[in-house]
């Protein structure tokens, strides 16, 4: 007790405290920004990034670059490794299709050797493994290399697929 107040310390914050701290920091930063900067920031958030080549992502960026991004466009994820022969055959096909379908689908690559957390989370047992996310949901996952026509058909189906809204979200 110090001057009538109960004091308690933690050597570091609880994990549950971090979202509050982050929110407080974001609010403080936003309050310091001039109005022009706030408008520019809002416009930048609204503008979707169009990728014409596969994007390498990690355990740390997967949530944002694949799951969250799939709310705007379907996301095709290639789980691969440098030493994998079939992965090297699939890579130029995905680069070509990423350019061809730019603005309609996002292609990302996950190196399974460098990102073991994602390999475990998705139970990747063989590579390459191809996964597709749309509206935050896994809609396709298959191990093995596919020929270009199969990739093309998969991408077209992912683009055309309509996912019904959740009943809970619809009733809210």
Is residue 91 over pLDDT 80? yes
Q: Looking at the structure, tell me whether residues 61 and 21 fall in a common domain.
A: no
Q: Residue 87 catalytic? A: yes
| % of the chain at pLDDT higher than 90 | 63
CATH code at position 84: 3.40.30.10
| % of the chain at pLDDT higher than 70 | 73
Q: Is residue 32 part of a domain?
A: yes
Q: Looking at the structure, tell me whether residues 115 and 78 fall in a common domain.
A: yes
Model pTM greater than 0.85? no
Number of domains in the chain: 2
pLDDT digits (tens, 9 = 90+) for 107-133: 999 999 999 999 999 999 999 999 999
Q: Is residue 169 part of a domain?
A: no
Strands across the sheet containing 55-57: 55-57, 106-111, 75-80, 129-134, 137-143
Q: Looking at the structure, tell me whether residues 102 and 144 fall in a common domain.
A: yes
Q: What is the pLDDT of residue 32?
A: 74
Catalytic member of 51, 57, 75, 87: 87
Q: Residue 84 catalytic? A: yes
Q: Looking at the structure, tell me whether residues 28 and 76 fall in a common domain.
A: no
> How many residues comprise the chain?
172
Catalytic member of 66, 77, 84, 124: 84
Q: Looking at the structure, tell me whether residues 29 and 82 fall in a common domain.
A: no
In angstroms, the CA 102 to CA 110 distance is 19
pLDDT digits (tens, 9 = 90+) for 25-76: 777 777 776 777 666 666 555 444 557 889 999 999 999 999 999 999 999 9
Which residue range forms the structural domain that includes residue 41? Answer: 15-46
């Amino acid at each position: 007790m110090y001057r009538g107040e109960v004091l308690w310390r933690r050597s570091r914050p609880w994990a549950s405290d971090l979202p509050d701290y982050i929110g407080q920091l974001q609010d403080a930063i936003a309050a310091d920004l001039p109005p022009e900067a706030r408008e520019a920031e809002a416009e930048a958030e609204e503008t979707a990034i169009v990728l014409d080549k596969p994007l390498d992502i990690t355990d740390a960026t997967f949530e944002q670059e694949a799951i969250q991004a799939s709310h705007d466009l379907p996301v095709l994820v290639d789980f691969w490794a440098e030493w994998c022969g079939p992965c090297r055959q699939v890579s130029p096909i995905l680069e070509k299709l990423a350019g061809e379908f730019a603005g309609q689908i996002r292609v990302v690559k996950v190196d399974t050797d460098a990102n073991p957390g994602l390999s475990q989370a998705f139970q990747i047992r063989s590579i390459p493994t191809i996964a597709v996310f749309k509206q935050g949901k896994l809609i396709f996952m298959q191990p093995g290399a596919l020929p270009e026509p199969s990739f093309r058909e998969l991408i077209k189906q992912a683009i055309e697929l309509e996912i019904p809204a959740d009943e809970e979200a619809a009733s809210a």
